[in-house]
A and B are shown apart, each in its own frame.
Chain A
Amino acid sequence: MGGSYCYDGSFAGLLTLLARLLPQHITPDTISIDPLPQQSLFTDVTVVAADELQAEALWDELEQCLTPSCLKLVTRVFLADRPERELLICRYLLLAWQVGKKIGGMLAHPDVEPLWKLSQQVGREAHRYLGFVRFQEVRGGFYYAAIAPDHRILPLIAHHFAARFRDQQWVIHDTRHGQGIIHDRLRREWLILPMTAHAAPNLTGTEELFQELWRRYFKTLAIAERKNLRLQQGKVPLKVRPWLVEFT
């Protein structure tokens, strides 16, 4: 068995595809998102269109036979920015289909281990970004933060910021994946939308003052006798620094 499959990139789309593969125990060779990155002449690609009903039915069934923490692994891995994520999910669920709840303990199994490691990576990155988001006060009365995380972590951090800054109009813009969270203070709602920035944000005067205060404060806080740049770089990798006020 095997074969190449293609879906629309949405979670419902993937579930629809899985609803077809799981009952027949088909392990696909590739799962890709259409439009295909590379059209291959000799492979037979099956395109599966998203079907909300089928997707929901499958999810309900998975909820019945798996624990919530197993499902959390799956949803987190879906947010990973890795080409192999669909195959990982598929192999994991195929195994889950056979063994059921037991899969929770099979951490060292070759079909489980890469999945939970990746899920852990996504979760850790999301947690780190709870700290690394830097809002800037923009003219027009809202706060804008740009980030460039490795994975699509916005759905994992939106709730935290919505609870914390509920009296604030804010936007978190994931520049790498071209999406952003928009929080509306009045309606107390947030939405994840496609987003691109065309110009640098127009900062307010207080914003510049606070940025300078923070930079000075941050510099003062280091203890020269304990200098340890390697440790610092492990904690704040260079790739996140362009977006951090204290490193610019």
Chain B
Amino acid sequence: MAVATPLMDKLEILAEGAKYDVSCASSGSFRRNRDGIGNAASCGICHSWTSDGRCVSLLKVLMTNSCIYDCAYCINRRSNDVRRVMLTPAEVAELTIGFYRRNYIEGLFLSTGVVRSPDYTMELLIAAVRTLRQEYRFNGYIHLKLVPGADPLLVREAGLIADRVSVNLELPTREGLALLAPDKSRDAVVAPMQQVNRLIAVNRGERRESRKVPRFVPAGQSTQLIVGATDESDRQIVTLSEQLYRRLDLKRVYYSAFIPVVADTRLPDRPTSPLRREHRLYQADWLLRYYGFSAHELLDDRMPNLESDLDPKTGWALRHLDLFPVEVNRVDYETLLRIPGIGVRSAQRIIWARRQGHLAIDELAKLGVVMKRARYFVTARGRYAGECALESSDLRSRLVTGPVPKKASQLELPLFQPLVGDEAAGLISGEL
């Protein structure tokens, strides 16, 4: 059935303008359903995945795509020739509830272009969220974009009704921002982040005194960096992220591979967007947040960019071969986390499982360890299962290419008998 309504057109235009915002998280908040509709699940739930493989968790939409700014990278820039529309707070609420009741979404991610003034725009966003929270008694997840330059009182108000707030830094360096977004200043972007950070800290203190104090931004704040629009190095980006996590206590920094959506002479002319680079940056980001790495360990003056053919942890391990191999039955959790092929879950399982007896090398795969990488960096009960020695010159190429593809190896197996998998190692070592 082809229904064309004004609302449908508006939704399409405003989704088009919002889709380059990467944040999709619906996790980290916990909101009970108090006599209304919806709750926020602390684990986060994805509801669908679009044909680019990105998840749909929140109704990601703009309040309006009109904007007084003229940022070079942005599809909604003032000088871009697109149709401008605006949703009313009531329409935002109606759409959110309609989708939510059908379980299409986990909540709302409301962003906007800036109309009239930052304060006016911020008030519009707050009005929409207020309609949802008060009239519809909606307790689902709401991610609200803060408008740089908005009054601190409005920022405070936004934080009390949203689960997460964010301001996008967009460009990793001050110079980049000055070049591509001449109307925005870095300080106007960082100021609300600092304010939110202070208010979260104060709120935590108050809630320690009394649980009745309402939560302020329970899911924390996040930001987004565009990668590849200006010529900063990975080192600059990862170091910035580290600072954001440490100093401003951000929950997430998102990276968005630059896609030229509008033509501009200030923008680089790239045939493809740097998706691989974005992926490596996310891997490095995870190492910062969950694996105890710091930025200077991953990247330094000699190596300003992440390798594109190896993940950052394996790269780090190859530069620190003197630390390996390690005995999985002895080393502490922090060291386990630094072994390529072992993640947070498998490290926890190893700690848990080795209390009941020493682990053999073939048992590691059962615990979820990725042996195609880990085998070169560990021993179990003194056994080493790598296909080549750690000092070997082709270790790197083996890690880059990975094991021979399955189909080929099945054909070769009977001829060459290289039964060097985990099973083989297990057979040799037996149950000691």
Number of interface residues of A (CB under 8 A): 55
Across the two chains, which residue of chain B brings its CB closest to A114?
B366
Number of interface residues of B (CB under 8 A): 60
A-B contact sample (19 more), CB < 8 A, given A232-B50, A245-B102, A246-B48: A105-B352, A105-B355, A108-B366, A108-B367, A130-B45, A135-B103, A137-B102, A143-B102, A145-B103, A164-B140, A165-B38, A167-B37, A168-B37, A217-B12, A225-B272, A226-B257, A231-B49, A232-B53, A246-B104
With contact pairs A105-B355, A107-B367, A108-B363 given, residues A213 and B52 touching in the complex (Cβ less than 8 Å): no
- Please state if A105 and B104 are interface contacts (CB–CB under 8 Å): no
* B contact face: mostly helix, strand, loop, or mixed: loop
The 9 closest A-B pairs by CB, nearest first: A231-B53, A108-B363, A226-B52, A222-B50, A228-B53, A105-B356, A235-B49, A131-B47, A220-B15
- Please state if A216 and B275 are interface contacts (CB–CB under 8 Å): no
With contact pairs A108-B367, A212-B1, A221-B15 given, residues A132 and B47 touching in the complex (Cβ less than 8 Å): yes
Query: Please, which residues of chain B bring their CB within 8 A of the CB of A210?
Result: 98-99, 102
Complex partner residue of A218 from B2, B53, B56, B140, CB under 8 angstroms: B56
* A184, chain B: closest CB distance, angstroms: 16
For residue B41, CB closer than 8 A to chain A, the reply is yes
For residue B120, CB closer than 8 A to chain A, the reply is no
Query: Please, which residues of chain B bring their CB within 8 A of the CB of A220?
Result: 11-12, 15-16, 19
- Please state if B56 and A221 are interface contacts (CB–CB under 8 Å): yes
- Please state if A104 and B49 are interface contacts (CB–CB under 8 Å): no
For residue A134, CB closer than 8 A to chain B, the reply is yes
Query: Please, which residues of chain B bring their CB within 8 A of the CB of A177?
Result: none
- In the complex the two chains form, what is the Cα distance from A228 to B98 in whole Å? 29
* A242, chain B: closest CB distance, angstroms: 14
Q: Which of A191-234 contact B (CB under 8 A)?
A: 206, 208-210, 212-214, 216-218, 220-232, 234
Q: Which of B323-349 contact A (CB under 8 A)?
A: 349
For residue B54, CB closer than 8 A to chain A, the reply is yes
Query: Please, which residues of chain B bring their CB within 8 A of the CB of A71?
Result: none
For residue B3, CB closer than 8 A to chain A, the reply is yes
- Please state if B352 and A107 are interface contacts (CB–CB under 8 Å): yes
For residue A244, CB closer than 8 A to chain B, the reply is yes
Q: Which of A104, A164, A231 has the most B CB atoms < 10 Å from its CB?
A: A164
Query: Please, which residues of chain B bring their CB within 8 A of the CB of A160?
Result: 41
* B304, chain A: closest CB distance, angstroms: 26
- In the complex the two chains form, what is the Cα distance from A206 to B5 in whole Å? 13
For residue A32, CB closer than 8 A to chain B, the reply is no
* A182, chain B: closest CB distance, angstroms: 16
- In the complex the two chains form, what is the Cα distance from A214 to B12 in whole Å? 10
For residue A31, CB closer than 8 A to chain B, the reply is no
- Please state if B363 and A226 are interface contacts (CB–CB under 8 Å): no
- In the complex the two chains form, what is the Cα distance from A141 to B381 in whole Å? 64
- Please state if B50 and A218 are interface contacts (CB–CB under 8 Å): yes
